[in-house]
Structure 1
Amino acid sequence: MLRKISIVLLFCSIFADSAFAQRMFKSYQYFPDHLEIKTNDGKMVITPYGHHTVKVDFLEKGKALPFPSYAAAHGAEKVESKVKEEPNRLIYSLPDMEVLIQKSPFQVSYANGNKVFLAEEQGFFDADSVSGFRFKLQPQEQLIGGGERVLGMNRRGHRLELYNKASYGYEKHADLMYYSMPMLVSTNKYALIFDNGAKGFMDLGATDKEVMSFEAVSGNMSYFVVSGHDYPTLMNNFTALTGRNPLPARWTLGNIASRMGYHTQEEVETTVAKYQQDSIPLDGIVIDLYWQGPDLKGHMGNLDWYKPNFPQPEKMMANLNEQGVKTILITEPFILNGCKTWDSAVENKVLGTDSLGSAFKFDFFFGNTGLIDIFKPKAQDWFWKIYKHHTESGVGGWWGDLGEPEVHPSALQHVNGSADEVHNVYGHEWAKMIYDGFAKDFPNTRPLILMRSGFVGSQRYGMVPWSGDVSRSWGGLYPQVEISLSMGLQGAAYMSSDLGGFAGTTKDAELYLRWLSYGVFNPIYRTHAQEEVPAEPVYWDKETMSIARDFIRLRYEMMPYNYTLAYENTTTGMPLMRPLFFEEDNDQLIDYTDAYMWGDDFLVAPVKEKGATSKTFYLPKGHQWIDFHNDKVYEGGKEVTIKSDIKHLPVMVKAGAFIPMAPVYQTTKEYSTKDLTLHYYADASVKEAKGQMYDDDGHSKDALEKGNFDLLKFEANTNEKGLTIAVEKTGKGFENAPSERAITVLVHHAPNHKKVMVNGQKVKVQKSEQKWQDKGGAFFNESTGQLFVKVVLKDKVVIAVK
């Protein structure tokens, strides 16, 4: 308690003293690519990084920035700009932002269309132990950010530690977790990023309700401001700066089995066989610590197969790969003293050091250890050679664990600074090392890089994060929507969880199935748990397994839609999971996590309470909403209560949505879009609607860059004459792409019809489903109001219902 009081007193005294040190404007210099402002205590450099983005560096007393930018994916851009000087201010104008520099009293603010959305308070400050920036908070402003926390979506009023740290067994509250980020997204439609990877804090109106601040023990005194007119534009602009997720391999969106852990080759092979026997689709299996040794402790850092238990790993992986199942191996950055690689690590000087330059050794749960200096090029080469060897041997994906790092003594020195100075970017650099290694040695492979810790912008290295060692309890399930939504807004669009829960021995089939049903509409579908309770549905009772199988099969049916969401994230930065305030721009929905959007078209309301038989949730206004399970129509702008037994997750579809779905298959190795069902959710309120479906070979890294893909465009128009649906194939295609696609167009709530035409030719509306199945054409189900039309798509198909 005394320590906490002293920290608060220090914090308050810093700013009490600094209030008297008003910064003074001295002069400015305008350059084509930046603006420099000289003050009495240093120099401020404002650099455009886009039409809507600036970087601000404060160089105190001529000091240079000690670190490169970790947040930015690229350098400054050439942007048209100009400076206008007025008696008491400068106006630095970019195409979509103005920076206003008031001379006396000195203050910098940011505006769009003459409306100030952000302003410095004191701006840069320097104290004995920390440095940073202070900004004003506007009265109604709400703030999302600080990385991974369980505090509610709106983080205003909190003082958040910036230090990636494990949060074992968390439930409904967690102040500090694995993946903190020094950034925020404001309801004023801007993102603010403190480009500093050191240990620190961000104070969002906790100490002073009208001030937010970022502070760190050292590092770059730099921040980025990104603006946008609405949330989708802001996401686009923000990820244009920090980088976008590369398109994942399609198999990574399939079902992945995992536990802590499989002890033997026989366990791995038996588990995969059980998935196949029970007809549960599977695309990957994770082998945890036991691939390196027989026990939990003492073997971390061997980074090689323990042959007594895995006698033929290459043959095992080859057989699994032939069956369409990828092998994923866990690695950690800790090299235990005495393990197989210890002598090599010491000899090659790849470990963090003490003050004398010797390998820094310390104790933690798994044993006495050193830590790889991930910032040292020589260490990266050493570490990557291990990844390369195993990838060549058949490993299909990589899992980087404990990358906060979980234990990171302050006295440990890296090649570029102390542990505290670079702690928060350790996982970021680790992901970059693996991503760059694949780009060099496996240039046509889309790698899977599972990691639980990173920095702003880590998504550009293909990092797939998860929410850590969550409690296997209802309390652990409860915050998962909040975590994924908030992290998606901060760039980590593939944030997911250990489906079923990780920590603890609770065996509750209801909890397990509710978690797995939620996972259907998650970026990654991966079960994982401590081995006391089965993570895999194949080891549950028949009823639980059967229900879980139905959810997983639905996940695979939705692959065309989900893969298109991945494409949209890669090209626009929009997260896959989206908060409802993206759909209805309403600040009162900022903290709402009882439901969320899955892409543009699905609204998902997970059941998070034991024993619940129904779910009450809000439907955004401006749309009609259609129950995914029974086609019942609901009006937006109000709450609804939907019955939800254990077999059904409450899911709504937006009226006017196109949902492409595929047949069920055992693995994505069998995946093809030659047969599709295209659902169109018609409603009288929707006169025009559009949709799309992305398709490529699922694995080539350069498919987007080379244009090797198909993009199916969907369009619907409704008027007094009836309904017209057009499906058109665009793009130049890809190897083994279907030359034509057999599509069943399923119109929900189809209008009354007298005839159905395909490409101007009348087709017969069959009187029974069986005749339609046998002879084709169309079929109208009078009891459900659904119209089915079979078509063959080569280039374009037009369906008219009159």
Structure 2
Amino acid sequence: MRQVIPQGFSHVPPKSSSLSSLLFEAADGSRATVTAVDSSIFRVTFAPPGLDASDPRSVLSRTHTVVGKSAAAADESVAGKARSDLRTLLDSPDTVFRLEIDSGNKDSRVYSLATPAVTARAAISPDGLLTLTFAGSAKSPSSQSVSAPFLEDLPLRAYTYDKNGGVAHYVKRKSTVGYYGGERGAPLELTGRRFRLDALDSMGYDVDRTDPLYKFTPYYLAVDKTTGESHAVFYDSFSRGGIDFGCEVDAFWGDYTKYEADQGVLDYYVIYGPTLPALVDHMSLLLGAPILPPKFSLGYLASAMGYAEHADAHKMLWEFPDKMREWNVPCDGMHLSSGYTVDPETGARNVFTWNLQRFPDPKGLFTKLNANGVRVFPNIKPWLLAGHPAYEAIKEKKGFVWDPETDSPSLTRLWSAGAGTSATGSYFDFTSEAARAFWKSGVKDLLEMGAEGMWNDNNEYTIHDDTHLYSFSAAPGASLPAQQAGLAGRALQTLLMATASFEATREHHKAVGAASSTRPKRPFLITRSGAPGIWRYAAHSWSGDNRTSWKTLRGNISMGVNAGLGLLGNYGHDIGGFAGPQPTPELLVRWIQMGVWLARFCVHSWKEEGVTEVGMYPEMLPIIRDAITLRYTLIPYFYTLLHLTSRHGAPVTRPLFWDFGTDPLAYGPAADTQFFVGPSILVAGVIEDGARSRKVYLPKDSKTGEGAAWCNFWTGEWVKGGAEVEADVPLERHGAVFVRAGGIVPTCSKVGRWVGDGDHGDRVVLFYPPPAGSAAGSWSFTLIEDDGETEGAPTTEIKIQLRVEDGANKVFVGAEVLVAGHKLAYDTVAVKLPQGDKREVVVEKETGIKLALQQ
């Protein structure tokens, strides 16, 4: 280590009249910039001497993550976007100005750059050290009055570089601030912990201790636990590195957090809320919002390695719909694990090939499953083993990550046959024309056979040599020569693998749509690994190959909530556990009861004893069936939440403090095992063996500071918030579930064998007016409907309204069609109050839709 703290910084006057940027240069040639990108978003760069991030021949001059709100996924290039163009990606701030301030010390200089929302200040100390602070603007941005900084660089050590390579950023750590976001192990709050920035195949991980996991997440959200004021920092780099939230302590410097990148420059964005929902919306503005999945993705999605590994796999899967019918459980999908690609002679897994002994009629199997509503998502892996029939052809075309020393493919050990086996092979280089062409052809072949979507798996890209090369031959217009893996980043390949699968699927659907004169279906892509921006292509992700245990059930809750805060809004877990022993009957029940409240609901496993299935314990089947049926009745609510995720980034599952940021107890231990589903429903699943009750914290009202009213979802009983309650959770009850006063939850009453099966032309809206004696109030929820499957589908949006007057002795409801682009299968919405609520219901408004009271 040869760390340097640049000194002698001075302000470099702008060459133009633009007032949106500040430029500073140190005595050693290090350069730093501060730019107002949007009213709530600032960009900061720091480049050590000799590193020119503006050189168009360097990958440092490009970004694959920052796209702006008008970006379309189909328009994104293998080369990404030129960083020099970023100023035009977002709306320009309404007012941007710079103000130079004399700090009172003739040798110190302070420069300010303000927008209506944020003021950034750059201070140069007497010895020329640069420190930045960011504060929410308290008044008009033309005023010098700002609130206390929400982010402050660590004085005297903010920006450093290592002469052996690498950069670091140090920030002052406040005791009142908690850190969150990204796929990281439990607990929810990350303060006091350190994480590597990398991604590994961490099968059977310890949910509290294992790091790194499957996703590359160079960002965090910071929330002041006394005020709820929120900001995020996103580091736009795929370089390996680390991020420390206070694990490291050095008394001389005080409390700090630290980001380190092994290679490259610092290029980061400061994003301001000030509320948490606004912050996530601003993050989606910068990084792109998650893609809208098809409605079927909310159904039960089956999976197990054991199906495709079985010698009689074709028969097992052929009979799967009949088994689901026998159990009377709906199902919408089957993940086809990689056993279908196993070479019958060598046991090697060869992507885009078929084991015709296990699967004698793949197309016929897909036809049978599709006819029964079970869509198929084949597993595909981003490498070829050296024995793959296409290996030599791809090698000849330089479609692999390349070893420049041997002028041959980068070789590594890759999973080949059964557990723990490996063989020599090479990763595809998804910046190359050859790899993308081969990959897209293979994906389209699977889609032609009847697959509905792709399952990108084992895509962590554990390349062991930083000097191995990506060709960028698929981006001829960008003038990029081959780039080293260490500088460009392994996670770039993960992201570009997603773009290749997405493009192939979209091209296939467009061709099918054009042939039938219909709108093309939405691409549906599932990914295990991930990097910033992958949510623009992959509609689903999950917490990887977890381990069967009560501990995992508990820890996966906070993993999912943190992932959602990092824009992985459509996220779930391997219910029942992937690795380890079979779940006990009670563990399986409680895991399913938790899973039905998540955006992604999938049971998946790899067990020596056989597959984990929803009907594997006959004595538990009635409870499990009831839980899954509940899931399907809630799909109108969930589907609206998916639309909101695709518009604003708001995750389906949200932390306790999402809407209760000023309640200090919302950040406490309860936040690790409780979460909101959308704006109204609070879920606290059962996480202990044998438990028949559990403690639940019900937040207090953020506006009044008093205990809000909460309705028990199962009993209709009202409870005052601001305190912990003991909730009954008998085995047949699907968690401790409460709805906040004013909650509005659209449902349907008819459940078929899959989403869309039979007549689902009904909507029953559950209203939760505050209990009698409450103060006046009004609430609304906009239900969003469309065809559920096509890109750009027109929507119909119904604003559903709830109101009570002082005393809340009557309930006033209304409905108004705001947008009428989709023809509904119903013209009446049923109104239903909680169990035991006999108050009079008055219909105030019926604009474009009717309301009818349901007893």
TM-score normalised by length of structure 2: 0.83
Aligned to 2:517: none
Q: Is the alpha carbon distance of 1:712 and 1:614 closer, same or farther for their aligned partners in structure 2, counting shifts above 3 Å?
A: same
Aligned to 1:629: 714
Larger mean CA deviation between 736-745 and 253-262 belongs to 736-745
Aligned to 1:581: 657
**Distance in 2 separating the partners of 1:506 and 1:799:** 47
Kept in 2: contact 1:726–1:796 (CA 8 A): no
**Distance in 1 separating the partners of 2:193 and 2:843:** 59
Counterpart of 1:641 (choices 723, 726, 742) is 726
Counterpart of 1:182 (choices 195, 218, 221) is 218
Deviation at 1:726, TM superposition (A): 0.6
Deviation at 1:290, TM superposition (A): 1.2
Aligned to 1:657: 743
Kept in 1: contact 2:656–2:674 (CA 8 A): yes
Deviation at 1:744, TM superposition (A): 4.8
RMSD of equivalent CA atoms: 2.5
**Distance in 1 separating the partners of 2:491 and 2:849:** 51
Counterpart of 1:710 (choices 796, 803, 809) is 796
1:583 aligned counterpart, secondary structure: coil
Mapping of residues 39-54 of structure 1, within 5 Å: 39-40=25-26, 41-54=29-42
Counterpart of 1:516 (choices 592, 595, 608) is 592
Q: Is the alpha carbon distance of 1:717 and 1:629 closer, same or farther for their aligned partners in structure 2, counting shifts above 3 Å?
A: same
Q: Tell me if 1:247 matches 2:280.
A: no
1:169 aligned counterpart, secondary structure: coil
Deviation at 1:304, TM superposition (A): 2.2
Aligned to 2:10: 25
**Distance in 1 separating the partners of 2:7 and 2:828:** 69
Q: Is the alpha carbon distance of 1:374 and 1:601 closer, same or farther for their aligned partners in structure 2, counting shifts above 3 Å?
A: same
Larger mean CA deviation between 569-578 and 356-365 belongs to 356-365
Q: Is the alpha carbon distance of 1:136 and 1:361 closer, same or farther for their aligned partners in structure 2, counting shifts above 3 Å?
A: closer
Kept in 2: contact 1:51–1:94 (CA 8 A): yes
Counterpart of 2:550 (choices 454, 461, 474) is 474
Counterpart of 2:243 (choices 199, 202, 219) is 202
Aligned to 1:165: 200
Kept in 2: contact 1:674–1:742 (CA 8 A): no
2:150 aligned counterpart, secondary structure: strand
Counterpart of 2:189 (choices 154, 157, 161) is 154
Deviation at 1:163, TM superposition (A): 1.0
Deviation at 1:247, TM superposition (A): 1.1
For residues 688-726 of structure 1, what are the alpha-carbon distances to aligned partners after superposition, in whole Å with 9 as ceiling and x for unaligned?
1212211100011112xxxx1111211122226732211
Aligned to 1:64: 53
Aligned to 1:493: 569
Between the two proteins, what is the percent identity of the paired residues? 23
1:229 aligned counterpart, secondary structure: coil
Q: Is the alpha carbon distance of 1:590 and 1:745 closer, same or farther for their aligned partners in structure 2, counting shifts above 3 Å?
A: closer
AA partner of residue 782 (structure 2): Q
Kept in 1: contact 2:217–2:531 (CA 8 A): yes
TM-score normalised by length of structure 1: 0.88
Kept in 2: contact 1:677–1:746 (CA 8 A): no
Aligned to 1:275: 324
Kept in 2: contact 1:144–1:184 (CA 8 A): yes
Report the count of equivalent residues. 747
Q: Tell me if 1:598 matches 2:673.
A: no
Q: Is the alpha carbon distance of 1:757 and 1:402 closer, same or farther for their aligned partners in structure 2, counting shifts above 3 Å?
A: closer
Deviation at 1:434, TM superposition (A): 2.0
Q: Is the alpha carbon distance of 1:687 and 1:751 closer, same or farther for their aligned partners in structure 2, counting shifts above 3 Å?
A: farther
Q: Is the alpha carbon distance of 1:718 and 1:507 closer, same or farther for their aligned partners in structure 2, counting shifts above 3 Å?
A: closer
Aligned to 1:786: none
Q: Is the alpha carbon distance of 1:427 and 1:616 closer, same or farther for their aligned partners in structure 2, counting shifts above 3 Å?
A: same
**Distance in 2 separating the partners of 1:798 and 1:448:** 35
Deviation at 1:673, TM superposition (A): 5.1
Kept in 2: contact 1:605–1:617 (CA 8 A): yes
Kept in 2: contact 1:257–1:536 (CA 8 A): no
**Distance in 2 separating the partners of 1:502 and 1:125:** 42
Q: Tell me if 1:144 matches 2:183.
A: no
Aligned to 1:104: 125
Mapping of residues 59-458 of structure 1, within 5 Å: 59-61=47-49, 63-65=52-54, 66-67=59-60, 68-74=62-68, 75-76=86-87, 77=90, 78-79=92-93, 80-87=95-102, 88-105=109-126, 106-113=130-137, 114-115=146-147, 116-121=149-154, 122-145=157-180, 147-171=182-206, 172-188=208-224, 189-208=230-249, 210-263=255-308, 264-293=313-342, 298-355=347-404, 356-366=406-416, 367-406=423-462, 408-410=464-466, 412-415=468-471, 416-421=482-487, 422-443=489-510, 444-458=520-534
AA partner of residue 790 (structure 2): S
Mapping of residues 729-768 of structure 1, within 5 Å: 729-734=817-822, 737-738=824-825, 740-741=827-828, 743-746=830-833, 748=835, 750=837, 752-753=839-840
Q: Which runs of 5+ in 1 are unaligned?
A: 1-9, 761-792
Deviation at 1:49, TM superposition (A): 2.8
Larger mean CA deviation between 93-102 and 240-249 belongs to 93-102
For residues 53-98 of structure 1, what are the alpha-carbon distances to aligned partners after superposition, in whole Å with 9 as ceiling and x for unaligned?
0211223346125332233123333334111222322211122211
Aligned to 1:549: 625
**Distance in 2 separating the partners of 1:577 and 1:185:** 16
Q: Which runs of 5+ in 2 are unaligned?
A: 69-85, 103-108, 138-145, 225-229, 417-422, 472-481, 511-519, 702-707
**Distance in 2 separating the partners of 1:547 and 1:512:** 11
Deviation at 1:376, TM superposition (A): 2.3
2:820 aligned counterpart, secondary structure: coil
1:670 aligned counterpart, secondary structure: coil
Q: Is the alpha carbon distance of 1:672 and 1:97 closer, same or farther for their aligned partners in structure 2, counting shifts above 3 Å?
A: farther
For residues 604-634 of structure 1, what are the alpha-carbon distances to aligned partners after superposition, in whole Å with 9 as ceiling and x for unaligned?
0011111112111211012211111111111
Q: Tell me if 1:38 matches 2:38.
A: no
Kept in 1: contact 2:166–2:265 (CA 8 A): no
**Distance in 1 separating the partners of 2:485 and 2:25:** 32
**Distance in 1 separating the partners of 2:234 and 2:132:** 16
For residues 742-790 of structure 1, what are the alpha-carbon distances to aligned partners after superposition, in whole Å with 9 as ceiling and x for unaligned?
535445553544xx66679xxxxxxxxxxxxxxxxxxxxxxxxxxxxxx
Aligned to 1:780: none
**Distance in 2 separating the partners of 1:410 and 1:124:** 24
**Distance in 2 separating the partners of 1:450 and 1:46:** 37
**Distance in 2 separating the partners of 1:597 and 1:295:** 47
**Distance in 2 separating the partners of 1:417 and 1:646:** 56
Kept in 2: contact 1:146–1:180 (CA 8 A): no
Deviation at 1:375, TM superposition (A): 2.4
Deviation at 1:183, TM superposition (A): 0.9
2:319 aligned counterpart, secondary structure: helix
**Distance in 2 separating the partners of 1:729 and 1:712:** 4
For residues 392-437 of structure 1, what are the alpha-carbon distances to aligned partners after superposition, in whole Å with 9 as ceiling and x for unaligned?
2211011111111256554543225333331233322221222233
**Distance in 2 separating the partners of 1:488 and 1:512:** 24
Q: Is the alpha carbon distance of 1:118 and 1:291 closer, same or farther for their aligned partners in structure 2, counting shifts above 3 Å?
A: same
Aligned to 1:694: 784
Kept in 1: contact 2:812–2:842 (CA 8 A): no
1:668 aligned counterpart, secondary structure: coil
AA partner of residue 52 (structure 1): S
2:358 aligned counterpart, secondary structure: coil
**Distance in 2 separating the partners of 1:166 and 1:741:** 50
